[in-house]
Amino acid sequence: MRVNFTVNGRRYEADDVWEGESLLYVLRERMGLPGSKNACEQGECGSCTVRLDGVPVCSCLVAAGQVEGREVVTVEGLADFAARRSQAHPGRGHLPHAERSGGGCASGACGTALDKARQWEAEPAGEETRDTGELSPIQQAFIDAGAVQCGFCTPGLLVAADELLERNPEPSDADIREALSGNLCRCTGYEKILDAVRLAAARAEETV
Amino acid sequence: MDFLRPARWEEALAAKAEHPTAVPIAGGTDVMVEINFDHRRPEYLLDLNRIGELSEWEVGQENVRLGACVPYSHIMEHLRAELPGLALASHTVASPQIRNRGGVGGNLGTASPAGDAHPALLAAGAEVEAESVRGTRMIPIDAFYTGVKRNALAPDELIRAVHIKKADGPQQYSKVGTRNAMVIAVCAFGLALHPETRTVRTGIGSAAPTPVRAKEAEEFLNAALEEGGFWDSRTIITPSIAKQFADLAAGACNPIDDVRGTASYRRHAVGIMARRTLGWTWESYRGNGRSTEGAA
């Protein structure tokens, strides 16, 4: 079947999608967006967390057909998403979906090709993101706080933490733990991850 | 596999009538796991996400009519006053990501004995609004669970909503697991005081082939509270009454040994949870209890 939806502000069209396929599979294997990680495939680990119409969900548990006409933000679009949010609402607040623009893509060839994705190296964002290599505040905070070890859980945590701070700019420790309770880190680097979220919140407060 | 995407409820019913083997998918938190692990290859997936009304609820005089796809996160956020037991139960479901997708309709459709919503529904009192092209019927929650992962739905029926009695008194929910998040219940217990009818209702999760009420325990407690004049005096419930209630609740279990716990542990834990939830709700009823905030 064919599925049309918006990913990180761009319209995508995926063809020959198997009806039982997950959103995660479509993102990683068909759109060349390998940022969302595939680990447990049962919603336990949170490493595939994306925003679906603004709501954090495990993309491994969303059937591809269910995203028809909807908007997805992955970790690849997080910096851009955060930048647009702060432009639209300096300080805080949620960015209405209508305020995000979408580029045109009729062929499904936009995004990162699979072979290109396979050659991807851990360098500052390249052309696959539309920004200039800038990181979102939460990404920068993860780096500065040393919250990344093996990195596998990081994309899901970034998406979840970014949504927390959007909703609750001054979270308590309990709020942070709750918001990240669906994201497992098997390096057990949780303390640094909590530090990173506190750091991002503190920095946001300073700039308001 | 075919992916059916009805835009309206009537279309969903027609699709289910035409393809009774179609598997409804809403939040996907059960169905997609089975598909991802190749445990299930349904001929048809029937997506309910496009039917907006399923994600809405109405608060009436006596009941809340909760659409089948209202996610747990909305129940926690918006229905804490009307459905305190279910709101507490919702908060124990998995993680924020799962609570943003999963809802009570799916819990009922799957009908796992470990489903978190069931004890709260049993304790509050509820009816399942099941519909097919043949018509609508209301299935009392007590008659809904028919076996391990089996329910009273006919092959052509879909769950449209659940009608849950609005709380007329304190409610509590307790769940045993190895941590707070991402836990399938070892066992769970829901309890609701109904001062208007001077009754207590309960629900036990994950300690029998289906979710069940501890009916003998309820009958004993209802009689003991009436006899002792506790509803009027609002005095502390005598420890011997609470103990007998707990023992009877444990006796209502029919658990198995499995990876999450042994049968005897489950029986023991249900007794403890019965006593505690009775204590918490009764203290609330007396006017000096803990609130329902985060008490699960």
Residue A111 is predicted with a pLDDT of: 58
Q: Give B160-185 pLDDT, tens digit per residue.
A: 999 999 999 999 999 999 988 999 99
| Interchain pair B3, A60: CB under 8 A | no
Beta-ladder partners of A22: A63
Residue A188 pLDDT grade (very low, low, confident, very high; cuts 50, 70, 90): confident
Distance CA B95, CA B91 (A): 8
Beta-ladder partners of B67: B161
**Res. B145: pLDDT tops 80:** yes
What is the pTM (predicted TM-score) of this model? Answer: 0.90
Residue A126 is predicted with a pLDDT of: 43
Distance CA A94, CA B261 (A): 43
Mean pLDDT score, B103-112: 98
Question: How many CA atoms lie less than 13 Å away from A190 in the CB half-sphere?
Answer: 13
Residue A119 pLDDT grade (very low, low, confident, very high; cuts 50, 70, 90): low
Residues of A in contact with B3 (CB under 8 A): 1, 19, 63, 65
Residue B198 is predicted with a pLDDT of: 97
> Maximum distance among all alpha carbons in chain A?
49
Question: Is the reported ipTM for this assembly greater than 0.90?
Answer: yes
What DSSP string runs through B14-25?
HHHHH-TTPEEE
**Res. B270: pLDDT tops 50:** yes
Q: Give B220-248 pLDDT, tens digit per residue.
A: 999 999 999 999 999 999 999 999 999 99
> Is B148 in contact with B227 (CB distance < 8 Å)?
no
For residue A17, give the chain B residue with the closest CA: B3
For residue B23, give the chain A residue with the closest CA: A20
Domain annotation for chain A: domains and CATH numbers: 3-207 (1.10.150.120)
| Interchain pair B97, A22: CB under 8 A | no
Distance CA B170, CA A96 (A): 38
Instruction: Give the residue with greater pLDDT, A129 vs B210.
Output: B210
Nearest to B176 by CA among B230, B121, B253: B253
Residues, chain A, total?
Answer: 208
**Res. A99: pLDDT tops 50:** no
Nearest to B110 by CA among B72, B153, B71, B143: B153
| CATH class of the domain defined by B51-285 | alpha beta
Residues of B in contact with A159 (CB under 8 A): none
Closest Cβ opposite residue A19 in set B1, B36, B181: B1
How near does any CA of chain B get to the CA of A35, in Å?
A: 17
Residue B269 is predicted with a pLDDT of: 98
Distance CA B27, CA B17 (A): 22
Give the start-to-end residue ranges of the domains of chain B: 51-285
- Does an H or E element contain B296, and which? none
CA–centroid distance for B136 within its chain: 21
| DSSP-based three-state secondary structure for B158 | strand
Mean pLDDT score, B147-157: 97
Mean pLDDT score, B100-122: 98
Q: How far is CA B188 from CA A129, B202, B249, in A?
A: 46, 11, 12
How near does any CA of chain B get to the CA of A32, in Å?
A: 20
Instruction: Give the residue with greater pLDDT, A204 vs A110.
Output: A204
Residues, chain B, total?
Answer: 296
